[in-house]
């Protein structure tokens, strides 16, 4: 994670690119298997038409390299720029990759038709076979070959891999007043997130296809970095008392978790994030808020610029005396990250954050969220209640 933020180069796109414009061109995510299968089919038919017209089959995809990743001030998240790249078959350098991409597309269409899911590793194994007895070559011999091509397809078709029935690992847990309908494997199950006991509902890889909100009766969404803290708040029934949806990404948020947060935010629920006051915690928050370089191509689907940061903050030390005893020394990585963050234009424009980071640099201290259990275990609930009520967010 250390390098991740470092690589984010500040490229401010023109302000006139508004959310409306990007969202119009973005995401055909979540429109269902038949729709996506249709898109795949169209991709193949276009190629056939090109061959029919005596041309090399070709498709276009957005460039995903560093040079085409921008932080878009207008929409408030990191996304791909406008550079596109053409992939064509009749070219010595591209023939293999092109053939491989078509093989992946064809396989994904089959998954969609069969309504079966697998991982990108599973996909790789489905396509790891010899190209024929006369050729000493496999269709894929390394998963590192197929992974970027899956991304090519996602970008070219304007969908997420989850829409292609490719799962990622599940991570993240939810509790709170929210009921979902999950159509899966031929069954339809109702999931009531108030009735998930001590373990909560685990966020699946795909929260779009076959997943539907039945009812949401919450006032806001609270995202807490650590699982242990989530368990504390769950035991205290914080979500019931506060009428909120309580989520922990368990560290860095997975694609599915970020997507769920985005979807809840789109239903006008405020999103409040609670992490450690250190490099890792900040990164988790900013990745939820602005997205990240690696997933820039999904920016529109997974970034939640509306997210607010409730703590832990350096200012808390002033407001809660006991905290001054519970700080720990910041590490080199925390200091370095704080310095970097100050140099990002999209962070340095938030004056609270500038002050916060400067305090970290001055005092060389950090605080973990667990410290709020100092006075008594359930104190953390009081802390959150007070700060959220008084809207004490880092602006």
Partner 1 sequence: MAQTSTEKIFTEFREHSVAEFFKKNQQMLGFSGKTRSLTTIVHEYVTNSLDACEEGGILPEIDIEIAEIDRDRYKVIAEDNGPGIPEKHIGKALGQMLAGTKFHRYAQQRGQQGIGASGCTMYSQITTGKPVKVISRYDTRRITCEVSIDLKSNSPLVLNTVKDEGEFGHGLTVEGEFADVKYDKSSFGVYEYVRRTALANPHLQITLHDPEGQAHAFPRSSDAIPPKPMIVQPHPMGISTNDLIDFAHRERECRRVSSFLQERFARFSAAKADEVKALCPDVDFDKKPSELQWVEAEAIIKAIHSEGVKWIAPATDSVKPIGKGQIEKSLTNILAPQFVVVSERAPKIYKGGIPFMVEAALAYGGGAGKKAAGDLMSSEVIRYANRAPLLFDNSGCAITEAVKAIDWKRYKLKNFDEEPLSVFVNISSVYVPYTSAGKQAISNDEEIVQEIKNAIMEAARDLQAYLSGIRRDHDRKERRKAILRYVSQLSHDLPDLAGKGKAGEIEKKLITLIETKYSSQIESEEGEEEAKKENGNGKNGKDEEDEGEE
> Rounded distance, CA 353 to CA 350, Å?
5
**Is 125 considered catalytic here?**
yes
> Closer CB to partner 1, residue 153 or residue 244?
153
Are 175 and 193 contacting, i.e. CB atoms less than 8 angstroms apart?
A: yes
> Rounded distance, CA 235 to CA 239, Å?
10
CB 311 to partner 1: min, Å: 22
> Closer CB to partner 1, residue 98 or residue 383?
98
| Cβ-based neighbour number of residue 274 at 10 Å | 26
CB 391 to partner 1: min, Å: 30
From the number of C-beta atoms within 10 Å of its C-beta (0-12, 13-18, 19+), residue 375 rates as: middle
> Closer CB to partner 1, residue 187 or residue 332?
332
* Residue in this structure with the two tokens 């450690």, named with its chain if needed: 276
CB 1 to partner 1: min, Å: 6
Which residues lie below 8 Å from residue 362, measured CB to CB, with a gap of 6+?
A: none
HSE-CB at 7 with a 13 A cutoff on CA atoms is 14
Are 386 and 310 contacting, i.e. CB atoms less than 8 angstroms apart?
A: no
From the number of C-beta atoms within 10 Å of its C-beta (0-12, 13-18, 19+), residue 349 rates as: exposed
> Closer CB to partner 1, residue 151 or residue 352?
151
Among residues 71, 124, 125, 383, the one annotated as catalytic is: 125
> Closer CB to partner 1, residue 145 or residue 370?
145
CB 99 to partner 1: min, Å: 4
Name the strand (E) or helix (H) holding 235.
Answer: helix 227-235
3-class SS of residue 71: strand
CB 35 to partner 1: min, Å: 15
Active-site residue set: 125
């Amino acid at each position: 994670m250390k390098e991740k933020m470092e690589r984010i180069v500040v490229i401010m796109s023109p302000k006139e690119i508004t959310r409306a414009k990007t969202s119009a061109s973005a995401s055909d995510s979540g429109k269902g298997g038949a729709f996506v299968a249709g898109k795949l089919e169209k991709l193949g038919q276009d190629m056939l038409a090109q061959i029919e017209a005596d041309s090399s089959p070709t498709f276009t995809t957005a460039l995903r390299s560093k040079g085409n990743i921008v932080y878009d001030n207008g929409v408030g998240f990191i996304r791909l720029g406008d550079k596109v790249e053409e992939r064509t078959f009749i070219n010595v350098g591209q023939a293999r990759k092109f053939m491989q991409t078509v093989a992946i597309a064809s396989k994904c269409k089959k998954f969609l038709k069969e309504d079966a899911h697998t991982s990108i590793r599973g996909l790789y194994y489905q396509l790891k076979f010899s190209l024929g007895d006369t050729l000493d070559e496999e269709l894929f011999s390394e998963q590192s070959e197929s992974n970027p091509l899956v991304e090519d397809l996602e970008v070219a078709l304007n969908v997420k891999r989850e829409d292609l029935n490719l799962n990622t690992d599940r991570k993240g847990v939810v509790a709170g007043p929210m009921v979902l309908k999950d159509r899966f494997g031929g069954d339809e199950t109702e999931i009531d997130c108030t009735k998930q006991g001590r373990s909560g509902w685990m966020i699946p890889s795909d929260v779009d296809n076959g997943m539907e909100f039945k009812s949401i009766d919450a006032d806001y969404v609270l995202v807490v970095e650590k699982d242990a803290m989530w368990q504390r708040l769950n035991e205290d029934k914080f979500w019931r008392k506060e009428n909120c949806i309580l989520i922990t990404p368990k560290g860095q948020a997975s694609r599915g978790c970020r997507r769920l947060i985005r979807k809840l935010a789109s239903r006008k629920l405020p999103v409040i994030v609670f992490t450690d006051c250190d490099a890792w915690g900040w990164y988790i928050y900013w990745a939820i808020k602005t997205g990240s370089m690696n997933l820039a191509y999904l920016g529109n689907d997974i970034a939640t610029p509306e997210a607010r940061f409730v703590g832990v903050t350096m200012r808390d030390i002033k407001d809660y005396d006991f905290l001054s005893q519970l700080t720990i020394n910041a590490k080199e990585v925390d200091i370095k990250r704080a310095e970097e963050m100050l140099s990002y234009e999209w962070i340095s424009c938030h004056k609270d954050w500038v002050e916060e980071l400067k305090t970290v640099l001055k005092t060389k201290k950090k605080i973990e969220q667990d410290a709020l259990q100092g006075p008594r275990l359930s104190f953390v609930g009081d802390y959150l209640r007070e700060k959220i009520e008084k809207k004490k967010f880092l602006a």
